[in-house]
Structure 1
């Protein structure tokens, strides 16, 4: 039997060139003697499947592929002719030939390039370096637009003419320009910056006083201004030498460390270890109330005694408590009662109590098949914008970044950075969150910010309120799209802890918990509805009493009994 057919893992089946494969193995094992290369940390990752499944368009390049991960995809390989045209034009600005720079990079940087990617690059050395060189020429021609913006120039030279003129323009308003801009910030579409700096070193520049690193930084700052949804008054001083690729630079600009913020001595207050949620912080009042656990224990004891007893009256109680007619009768007027102003506040807890009528399984939710459902995402515990506004909390915009989020307890004001939302924002934030999760070098700050925004923006009304307060600058179609953007973001991240934002959440929840609405709701939930078993028993006794009265009146004429009662003195005097 033909081995090619019988063995699905054969070289022939996979169209693998055996000679090139053996040569790559030999070079990786025998000739690889550079210990420094082996210490290079992985910096370019693939997006985890759990994130990719939520919104693939935000992570998979749609128009142009940079680097090896998506190079051969037919959808993006069509851009190859524009890349080659960009490389031909870029040769005019280099002081050495394209062949020579490829030869230098292959000799000095091939092993380092492979070390940057966390997946094995199944390409020959020549193919990898030529691919990188052509992609970098295309990328630099695209980035020069932002360098000229930073310099205040309004017209490009010949770099955006010809084959790329319909893709890229200085104003950045063309659809292809915006698509390429989103593609170059995706996690899987990154190229190591040290390669880009190598090409810039061999480029003729008008300003010979600027180094390749300074030129590249000027380009990337222009990209950051274009993509960042925040409006910082002062940008962080990020060292381009500390950044691995474009997305890493954008991440440092969005979440700068103390050095990049110019802070060299910082005392951290570690008093606040946990987060207190809505309704906490009213300790003085709670000290005067009885321990709710004692009431719960008492009701549980009574309930257990009754549930284990089979006496005649107890059986009647059980039928009344769990009987379907009674349950339906109790639910019929609920829509009318819940419309009353006071009962509106207690609607949720009362509905939870009715759900528990069927047994002890109230803590788990089940689907139609009867299997327990596991929550897919845990949302941060904080009231929505409209709930906070009704509680007297003021929202105020601040021109800054994520670290400028704060809450003034005395003024009862929550300060949030102005966020400008457009078609690029979701891709930008999603890839920052994905990259932050892959690197995991510290607290997941961007993820925590998206969780906070998802927590306070639940509906279109919440988004509209923030827009009217100047916190959200909406370039999308509607306020509903804003709410959907934030609510969709948190479906792909897990909860994390960031000390400063957690303190803000804690303070907001404390202030919200001091309102009379929340106090009443908490009191009813803790001291009334927590003892639903006892309430159910009392309700059953009332129903039994009313049923007995009704049965009595059906046998004996209640009206006749009432007529036999003595009349009041006033009536007797009138009769006389």
Structure 2
């Protein structure tokens, strides 16, 4: 037996004896993940920070602190000047083994590095994040170093904030709360409002500021303990996705339930066919431009997508959708929100289902043009073709097989029913289902045209014959 094989067997045996598969703690609760490989293969750059590496995945020890490390230390030194000596000692007490173990337990991968590096990295990142959020917060009262001039920060605010909300670029939210407690008594609420006011800069569904009717309210029972969010990407996801109600399931009568118990195998096969048909009907069968040319009108609103606001009004044929603001950072934002949803045990995939809905409405640039004229899409990134490519590309890699969880399934099925009831659509569908009939009709008209053409050629000859014929 080789040395490596022996070590492997010893470790597996130790796990079995201890009753745990984790090296350190069987109660390890991972909250900061690597982006899934099948998503990174589509666009790896979307999961890599552009300006500010945070946490332990994208920050490795070097011989000397980098320029960004020095900027982060500047935030800590400004904090040191503001805090009394007692609070400074409280900050230094965070450097202990239990704190390091907590940080390491939050990451999906085992971080093989010194504990002091782990502590300093996360604390530097934490103070830097709080200071940047404070700069971008209009209500902030920070005394800033000249290098952190608010105008200079705001000139690259998109890149900075996008880095803050990358899946692999997170630090535990508990660190931010503990640091903020040194200056604010109500740290969770302060952090929540800071994030609420600053994330509108990159919010894909709201213009600049939250409209009052859309502004999430502070919920002491839910948000007072921000530990549930694990990191600020989770908080941002709650701002962007909201909470859609589950789709209503069709009512099944008691007699129908009894009948199902006595179904034969053939009837079970028929039920599987019906489920397959329902699966196909749960996708929109016509693009936005086809729906528009058939009489459907689109209406927009400012706010997060939800199945209570995304509605289809049959009378007047109007589909209401949220306004989507598209910039050059939109792909990064959506990809990280969707990657975050992959790891949600509660099944909340509101962003993924919204992207799927838009993908079904948009096939080419003329579909984007229809939605843009209706105010459903506002883009600053280029042509309609680029927007269509972006939204279609986001759907690659999605695995949304359980369509019963799709909050928009009823809207899609109602829209398909409305579209298929149109006379011209019915005729087109009938001809597609009966290709022989279409061939026969085409053959009939071809023969008719040949006869008509022959008749038009022979008629003058016949007239001439009648004119020249001798009279009897």
Q: Which of 163, 182, 187 is the equivalent residue of 2:147?
A: 163
Pairwise CA distance, 1:443: 4.3
Pairwise CA distance, 1:569: 9.7
TM value normalised by structure 1: 0.61
CA distance in 1, matches of 2:431, 2:153: 57
The residue that corresponds to 2:110 in the other structure is 120
CA distance in 2, matches of 1:459, 1:173: 35
Instruction: Pick closer, same or farther for the CA change 1:505–1:574 going to 2, 3 Å.
Output: farther
CA contact (8 A) 1:451 1:495 kept: no
Pairwise CA distance, 1:478: 2.9
Which runs of 5 or more structure 1 residues have no equivalent in the other structure?
A: 1-6, 10-28, 259-265, 274-378, 547-561
The residue that corresponds to 1:271 in the other structure is 250
The residue that corresponds to 1:255 in the other structure is 241
Per-residue CA deviations over 1:12-43 (Å, capped at 9, x if unaligned) read xxxxxxxxxxxxxxxxx99x9xxx97435321
The residue that corresponds to 1:82 in the other structure is 71
Alignment of 1:3-402 (within 5 A): 38-39=26-27, 41-72=29-60, 78-95=67-84, 96=86, 100-147=90-137, 149=138, 151=139, 157-159=142-144, 161-165=145-149, 169=150, 173-175=154-156, 177-203=157-183, 205=184, 211-231=186-206, 233-237=213-217, 239-240=222-223, 241=225, 242-257=228-243, 269-271=248-250, 380-402=283-305
Per-residue CA deviations over 1:318-364 (Å, capped at 9, x if unaligned) read xxxxxxxxxxxxxxxxxxxxxxxxxxxxxxxxxxxxxxxxxxxxxxx
Instruction: Pick closer, same or farther for the CA change 1:408–1:195 going to 2, 3 Å.
Output: same
CA distance in 1, matches of 2:106, 2:40: 21
Instruction: Pick closer, same or farther for the CA change 1:40–1:408 going to 2, 3 Å.
Output: farther
The residue that corresponds to 1:333 in the other structure is none
The residue that corresponds to 1:523 in the other structure is 430
CA distance in 2, matches of 1:92, 1:126: 23
CA distance in 1, matches of 2:465, 2:25: 109
Instruction: Pick closer, same or farther for the CA change 1:405–1:573 going to 2, 3 Å.
Output: same
Pairwise CA distance, 1:574: 4.0
TM value normalised by structure 2: 0.74
The residue that corresponds to 1:352 in the other structure is none
Instruction: Pick closer, same or farther for the CA change 1:455–1:112 going to 2, 3 Å.
Output: same
CA distance in 2, matches of 1:106, 1:414: 57
The residue that corresponds to 2:349 in the other structure is 444
Q: What is the aligned length?
A: 396
Instruction: Pick closer, same or farther for the CA change 1:172–1:393 going to 2, 3 Å.
Output: farther
Per-residue CA deviations over 1:218-243 (Å, capped at 9, x if unaligned) read 11102322221113632333643231
CA contact (8 A) 2:323 2:375 kept: yes
The residue that corresponds to 1:353 in the other structure is none
Q: Root-mean-square deviation (CA), in Å?
A: 3.8
2:94 alignment partner, SS class: helix
CA distance in 1, matches of 2:178, 2:326: 35
CA contact (8 A) 2:31 2:108 kept: yes
The residue that corresponds to 1:471 in the other structure is 376
Structure 1 runs of 4+ off > 6 angstroms? 566-569
Instruction: Pick closer, same or farther for the CA change 1:171–1:386 going to 2, 3 Å.
Output: farther
Matched, 1:459 2:357: no
Per-residue CA deviations over 1:231-267 (Å, capped at 9, x if unaligned) read 3632333643231111000112223348xxxxxxx89
Instruction: Pick closer, same or farther for the CA change 1:485–1:219 going to 2, 3 Å.
Output: same
Matched, 1:487 2:392: yes
CA distance in 2, matches of 1:399, 1:141: 30
CA distance in 1, matches of 2:148, 2:26: 39
The residue that corresponds to 1:511 in the other structure is 418
The residue that corresponds to 1:409 in the other structure is 314
1:402 alignment partner, SS class: coil
Per-residue CA deviations over 1:461-481 (Å, capped at 9, x if unaligned) read 222221211121222233333
Pairwise CA distance, 1:385: 1.1
CA contact (8 A) 2:298 2:374 kept: yes
CA distance in 2, matches of 1:221, 1:451: 26
2:57 alignment partner, SS class: coil
Per-residue CA deviations over 1:529-573 (Å, capped at 9, x if unaligned) read 5x99xx69x99xx99xx9xxxxxxxxxxxxxxx9xxx99995685
1:473 alignment partner, SS class: strand
2:112 alignment partner, SS class: coil
2:396 alignment partner, SS class: helix
The residue that corresponds to 1:354 in the other structure is none
Q: Choose 1 or 2 for highest CA Rg.
A: 1
CA distance in 2, matches of 1:504, 1:68: 43
CA distance in 2, matches of 1:158, 1:520: 70
CA distance in 2, matches of 1:457, 1:503: 19
